Structure 1
Amino acid sequence: MAESSDEQAAMQHYLVCGTEECQQNGQFYCNACHRPLCEQCRDEHLKSPDNQDHEIVFYRYRKHQLPVEKCKLHPTRNIDMLCTECQIPLCSKCSTMKKHKGHEFDDLEDIYAMKYALWQGEFSKIQKYLLPTTQGLKTDIEEDAIEIKKIMESIRTSMKVESESLKNLVDEVTSENINHTHTMEKSLLKMLKSQETTYVDYIAYLWKMSDEFQGYLSTNNKKLLFTMTLKIQTVPETTKPVPPVFTAGQFNKDDVTKLLGKVNVPNTKPEKRKVQPMKAVTIHMKSTEKKLEQSKEKSDMKQTLSLSSSVTKVREFSVPGVNNVYHVSVDKSDRLWVIDIFNLVKIDLQGNLLQKIKISNGFTGCHTVTQDGGLIYSEMHKKAIYRITPDRKITELIKTGDWIPLSVHSSSINGDILVGMKTYKEAKVTRYSKAGKEIQNIQMDNKEQELYSYPRYITENFNGDICTSDYNKRAVVVVNKSGQHRFSYKGLGPEFLPWGICTDVLGHILVCDKDKKSLHLLDQDGGFLTIILSPQQGIKDPRGVCVDDENNLYVGQYYTNTVTVYKYLQ
């Protein structure tokens, strides 16, 4: 594709062919000459008889050049070989010395390239397998801690219920016993009152008899004393009451424990946390292993995936219920989620409408598919993040307070949720756990400068880099997973208007440019590789972009309700 002089000048700090005065994209690399080559210069280079044995590969699979180190014995020469017997690096002149006579030597550059590839493989293993795996285990532990707290709180609640139940029974029994004592007391007092009445009556009888006998004693007729018979009633018999006796209950702490129950740790062997075995976790790692093997064999390099020489249209969807396609996501069932200004819709592979939701985030990358096949989307006006489960239930997941959530991405590495958000004056990227707990805020670079202005779209690369399309900054802003600024890509010319952004399995960054109405392909370090879609390929105004698990590229455009699918890797 022809480029303007401005574009050519702007590309000088990117990957340019190493042939003098050639400004084409240097997508190939000569391992013998250690310089990038465009496709045309590669063909010319191999035509020369002197270059027939030169190994030319794609630039990203290049053999890294041996760092220059001068020989201490021969300062005018570089160290470039290894004595296999002495296991020391040396220069070509050292190899002629008597102490190395008869020894064999290896090319130090081949050894360096092999070691570099090995370390690259280990680095990929750390980034793609070990870190995500341990982060997943850490998340499991955090979730276990939350679950343990819930369980223990439930046990404490059950204990309180049991205690209250026993207290109620104790109060009930005590109340019955006290009422019984009142009944017994009443009966005993009634009996004593009757006995008291008996003696009151007897005392009255005695007083009466006393008065009567006193009258007889004071009379002058003494004969009466001889004729009357003295007979006094005996004292009435009564019985003393038998007071009740309280027999204390026979119980101790163990008896109460048996009544209330206690907490025991089951005699069960703890289950080991499952660690998934490391597979060929990325095509990038497979490429590294192949590169190492083929470097040893010095054979042609054959990669699993690479950029195709051309982009092929596979199919096209018409999406009912929308007029534009500002953002597109594909779930694990190959169903598409698409948004225009106010409508978020889901369709199947036949273009049938499955679900439609009214929201307020039309001009941003406001939805993302989760690891379990659900969807997360942001609502600007409600300042909230919502989750849609595979069975279509919608629940509120996160409240963002004073911050307006613009873009959202669910990590395929660990399920974390990345949200680009802003207020009237500030902007930031916030990381949440998949349960909605805030983990990290990214706002400033190491010079305390604002990283973001309007983070319209956001995604994550396979190495954990957070890639944000910031329209107001006119840049793709990339930070590592710790939040440290790595680079900002500002396009090829004076004006760059980034929209939709995504990454692929090779670590490429794909971003839509509204100004040039094209789709840029970058390497994971921000180096421009090529424009894979432009008006020359029939693209009119790309806005939303994503790549599915089968490396299909989905592109949504402005002023149309179609989503076009392309193949760009082979």
Structure 2
Amino acid sequence: MDPLDRAQVLLLCDLCQKAPLQDHCELCQINLCKACVGEHLSDSSQRHKVVPYKHRTSTPNYPKCPNHTQKHCELYCEKCDIPVCSTCISLGKHHGHEFKDILQKPSFMKEFFTTDLEELEKRILPTYEEISSDLYSEKVKLEKNYEKLTSAVTKQGEDWHREINIIVNKQKSEIDEMKTKKLAALNKQEKEIKQITSEVKQSILDLKKILVSNDISLTSGYRSRNAEFRSLLPKVNVSLPSYSPHQINTDQLHQMFGSLSALSITTEEHGYTMKTPEAVSCPPVKPLLDEPELITTIDTRYKLSLYSVTCLNDAEIWTCGLDKIMKLYNLQGKLLKSIQTKSGDTPQDIAVTRSGDLVYTDSKTRTVNIVKNKKIQEVIRLEGWIPINVCSTSSGDLLVTMVSDDDNEQSKVVRYSGSTEKQTIQFASEGKPLYSSGNFTKYISENRNLNICVADFKASAVVVVNQAGTPRFKYTGHPSTKKGSFGPVGITTDSQSQILTADCDNNCIHILDQDGQFLRYIGNCGLKLPRGLCEDATDNLFVTELNSGKVKKIKYM
């Protein structure tokens, strides 16, 4: 555990919001103080089960029956594809039908939800976004074409005398009318495409919410719209007219001035095709060196523990340790910039975003902050949770590991887009916690294959889940490592999707492949209590030493 004092937040009763909570109603999912327990139990319209807060268990949130409001649906009718209560069954409406425990539904529906989500994200949404882009290009092309038409007509009119001005103005008016009609047709389809795109994005958000939620009412109420979204709109084809000027003949002005081709707007039923996901290209294979090389050592002159390091670019690194200052160094050890935390407390961890901004977690204020132009902005403020470690993903999201305020009994990983929570990763499919309890370091990194890798120090394990939060594997050290002596702290990944974690118990770095198979150690570079890790764009490894205040740059590929 880091030597930092953790202030505890007093949890209050959900009813009065004044007194400390002591009890919990498992059926109503509400926290109560002693004074409010009696008031809660006086509501005889509901069943109650009040237990001490520390002894609470997770109670299924059965959906209420729409036909019998006092009942909860604990079964699921296979034939009717709806949740049912005991009264529904006793009335005989489902005679001869097969039933399942409704708690089984999420498990057998998860694959369906995942398939829908994958198609929405990788095929349907990209298709509509591509159509929107094409429509915009069509509008730009249309604008340019009509600019040329207007210029041609204007030039022809300047060559003629006053008596043909009426014809010039008339044909300009025809052009504007045609342009308006064609733009109207394109704008109409663009509006329809944007509406469908918005609905696709909402379906994606709904499915992600279902996948991380235990709320049965959400899963039972889900209806797929993928088939609807697959039916693409007919494509609007807008032909571009041309202008054909004639030689000036005053006797035949109307006939010879020139004419515009007829306006043509048609629709093509199968003009659009659904996008096929592109295969991700693999980076060139880089073999591991027989002997990793120590390239340089940077003395940060931290007097207290040196925690984390993150690359701003190939020539500059940010560092933080057990003080309130975050420091930027070049590879020659020159201090380039210093930033003090807004709270004056120690930053728990740091990361650099895709745009080059520094992000840090502050456990005292329970915030995640970003530094832009030397100004600190609060991005995320947590309630009931303490942020620990953070990383920036390839998509620009932030992944934050955190522990709960209630004696740090729970841990989880949360994905944020800006200040918006997008995903929570906390439990395996059988409901067991993925990560250990306690306010211990849980450094985090995203792999090239979008797996999420956490170095869980207390659990002596590296825990890896896929992008959806489904467990992939857990690495607990090489077989030759003595049981319990594997101490993973810092973690990073490279261009080969290899996972590197610092083992502070054995003064080395473990290198794993993307499937968790041990490849080799880095232990020949004089490492002492290695802690934070990061990689630059060319797969050079940077390692902080906890007590020496030094950062070592190592070449291992």
Give the TM-score, by structure 2 length. 0.48
**Structure with the higher fraction of residues in helix conformation:** 1
Q: Which has the larger radius of gyration?
A: 1
Q: TM-score of the superposition, structure 1-length normalised?
A: 0.47
